[in-house]
């Protein structure tokens, strides 16, 4: 038996960066489980989510947060939803299966994404330099979620408050994306 230990490393490792009315935090405590289902099982999925999580499944481009279970569902396409919640163990698929059952297809995406929380009064100013979406609050509402591209990097952007977003970037491009965020934050500071 080998006598070495593997230690988990954060995707970027910056923890927190503060700028003029802008803060970036590397979010390390979330599990992400992709849940896929066929159209014929969708009614059962909707019913389970309502009964177990006490929320409706979100429309594509949206998210809903379950206060009872602390799980946010993000709908980015018709037959797939991300369940995002505070990490409880190293087996998030079993955690979600214990709530929703075995009839759906699950994939642990937790280590595939790097998540950055961006917040503060200068959030929109920093993001509008790199994000092609209209982030005005009347166009991109709280709980809206979309796939987009920022500086040629595929991103999922989720608005959780007026001036606060979660940005999901593929782990493989997380350092490049962080560099993009830093450049934008420094430019507006």
- Residue 94's nearest CA partner among 80, 77, 79, 110 is 110
pLDDT tier for residue 4 given thresholds of 50, 70 and 90: confident
CA distance 123 to 173: 21
**pLDDT class for 66, splitting at 50, 70, 90?**
very high
Helix (H) or strand (E) holding 59: none
With a cut of 70, say whether residue 1 has pLDDT above it: no
What is the percentage of the chain residues whose pLDDT exceeds 90? 89
Greatest Cα-to-Cα distance within the chain, rounded to the nearest angstrom? 59
pLDDT of residue 88: 92
Span 55-67, average pLDDT = 97
Question: pTM higher than 0.75 for the full model?
Answer: yes
Question: For residue 158, what pLDDT is reported?
Answer: 98
pLDDT tens string 75-98: 999 999 999 999 999 999 999 999
Average pLDDT over residues 136-157: 97
CA-closest candidate to residue 22, choices 146, 165, 139, 154? 165
């Amino acid at each position: 038996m080998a006598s070495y230990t593997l230690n988990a490393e954060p995707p970027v490792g910056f923890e927190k960066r503060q700028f003029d009315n802008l803060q970036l935090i590397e979010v390390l405590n979330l599990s992400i489980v992709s849940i896929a289902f066929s159209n014929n099982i969708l009614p059962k999925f909707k019913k389970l989510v309502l009964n177990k999580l006490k929320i409706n499944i979100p429309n594509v481009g949206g998210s809903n947060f379950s206060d009872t279970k602390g799980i946010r569902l993000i709908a980015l396409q018709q037959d797939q939803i991300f369940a995002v919640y505070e990490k409880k163990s190293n087996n998030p698929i079993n955690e979600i299966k214990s709530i929703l059952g075995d009839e759906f297809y699950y994939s642990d995406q937790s280590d595939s994404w790097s998540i950055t929380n961006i917040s503060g009064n200068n959030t929109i100013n920093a993001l509008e330099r790199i994000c092609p979406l209209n982030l005005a609050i009347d166009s991109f509402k709280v709980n809206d979620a979309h796939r987009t591209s920022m500086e040629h990097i595929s991103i999922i952007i989720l608005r959780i408050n007026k001036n606060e977003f979660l940005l999901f970037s593929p782990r493989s491009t997380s350092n490049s994306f962080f560099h993009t965020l830093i450049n934008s934050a420094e430019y507006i500071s």
